[in-house]
Amino acid sequence: MSGFKIAVLPGDGIGPEVVKQGVKVLETIGKLFHHGFEIQFGLIGGAALDEKGVPLPDETWELCQKADAILLGAVGGPKWDDLPSHMRPEKALLKLREGLKLFANIRPVKFYPNLAFSSPLKENLLKGVDLVIVRELTGGLYFGKPKGRFEENGKVYAVDTMYYTYEEIERIAKVAFELARNRKKKVTSVDKANVLETSRLWREVVQKVASRYPDITLEHMYVDNCAMQLVKNPAQFDVILTENTFGDILSDEAAVITGSIGMLPSASLGEGLKGLYEPIHGSAPDIAGMNIANPLGTILSVALLLRYSLRLEKEANAIEDAVEKVIADGFMTKDLYLNNPSAKKLVSTEEMGDIVV
């Protein structure tokens, strides 16, 4: 019995529906591989506002601090849209990431043959796509100071500052190289070093880190070119390493190349093993409570949780293999099923969870 503590935060909208399927799969892995997962539920987002009056209650924060890993559904919805910004459900997520010092956002993007229809790219370009974006989450343009709106001599101007320290770049680069070790052993570091000083430092530091990983190939790519290469030849990539703003943009671009938003998992990691895992989609209020949401992004997030926070690689692979098989067998939720010639059976959220189990 390994006794891992896992905090589960279902949240709002379809969050609870998809998280329920993730928990089913987690419990199954616990039984099959004899791990004593201690699963504890916490309130977050709108659900927490309704019951406790705050988006991130103290109990939830304490639960997350004690946990080895956190599984999250989604937060937010029209019911809480008019609240002031410090009270909004989304604030809970930002606080959690900041409080737990999670600086690396990881988004794997993988092509499933039966889902080619849902991609804007042609199938021949998608074959072999299996990449992961490593995005720096706490620095760069979004947080650098000075920042704000100013007035001088009657003119109004606004400032954002791109700011990175050596250490911030070094720690995110390490995450990328460690990931590449267990993959195709290639890191593409994305910057704009022809224009930006932060990018020139980025290149230097990444190069230094790379010298400690002689088994891994490093290439540098400008962000504008990378945006183009992602749609022109996405199969060339293994690990894409980039800063906050570029990563924000590229990870959404990469997410659409292989299909439904309901399929994609993510991890946010820090210095230690603890991480926060969630599907990349939002709370989807338009389909909440209908038992039609795709739970595979959440189930694949459970696989990432096992791999990165608990170091249970076999168990993570078991989940990913099961998801692959379910898709290959043509079982699909509505988002994947419609207009898909490879679809064989339309299944609900609950049924999808059961089939993966």
Cite the annotated binding site for NAD(+) by residue number. 77-90, 282-294
Residue 29: name its binding partner from ligand ATP, Mg ion, none (Cβ under 5 to 8 Å by kind): none
Judged by beta carbon distances under 5 to 8 A according to partner kind, the member of Mg ion, ligand ATP, none in contact with residue 137 is none
What DSSP string describes 166-225?
HHHHHHHHHHHHHHHHTTTSEEEEEE-TTT-HHHHHHHHHHHHHHTT-TTSEEEEEEHHH
Contact call for residues 349 and 295 (beta carbons, < 8 A): yes
CA distance 177 to 200: 19
Would you give the distance in Å from CA 43 to the centre of its chain?
20
Q: Residue 244: how many CB atoms within 10 A of its CB?
A: 22
Angle at 249 between CA 244 and CA 250, to 5 degrees: 95
| Neighbour count for residue 330 (Cβ, 10 Å) | 17
- Per the rule left: phi > 0, alpha: psi between -120 and 50, beta: everything else, 69 is beta
Which residues are annotated as part of the binding site for substrate? 97, 107, 135, 224
Instruction: Pick one of Mg ion, ligand ATP, none as the site partner of residue 261 (Cβ within 5 to 8 A by kind).
Output: ligand ATP
Site string for Mg ion, 274-293 (x = CB under 5 A): --------x-----------
Binding mask of the shown chain, residues 2 to 41, with x at each position contacting Mg ion by CB under 5 A? ----------------------------------------
Nearer to Mg ion, 247 or 282 (CB): 282
Shortest spacing between CB 335 and ligand ATP, in angstroms: 4
Smallest distance from the beta carbon of 280 to ligand ATP, in angstroms? 8
Q: Select 253 or 351, whichever has its Cβ closest to Mg ion.
A: 253
Residue where the block lists tokens 């292989």: 258
Question: CB-wise, 92 or 210, nearer to ligand ATP?
Answer: 92
Strand 155-161 relative to strand 144-152: parallel, antiparallel, unpaired? antiparallel
In whole angstroms, what is the distance from residue 179 CA to residue 175 CA?
6
The option from Mg ion, ligand ATP, none interacting with 283 (CB < 5 to 8 A, set by class) reads ligand ATP
CB of 22 to ligand ATP, least distance (A): 11
Distance, in Å, from the CA atom of 42 to the CA atom of 193, rounded to the nearest integer, reads 43
Min CB(14)–ligand ATP separation in Å? 6
Residue 74 or 126: which CB sits closer to ligand ATP?
A: 74
CA 142 – CA 94 distance, rounded (Å): 13
Active-site residue set: 142, 192, 224, 248, 252
Q: What angle do CA 8, 11, 16 make, to 5 degrees?
A: 75
Binding site for ligand ATP (CB under 6 A): 14, 18, 74, 76, 261-262, 281-284, 286-287, 293-294, 297, 335
Q: Which residues ranging from 84 to 143 are in contact with Mg ion (CB under 5 A)?
A: none
Give which of Mg ion, ligand ATP, none residue 262 binds (C-beta under 5 to 8 Å, depending on kind).
Answer: ligand ATP
Q: Which is nearer to ligand ATP, 255 or 312 (CB)?
A: 255
Q: How far is the CB of 32 from Mg ion (least distance, A)?
A: 34
Q: Is 76 in the site for Mg ion (CB under 5 A)?
A: no
The contact set with Mg ion (CB under 5 A) reads 282
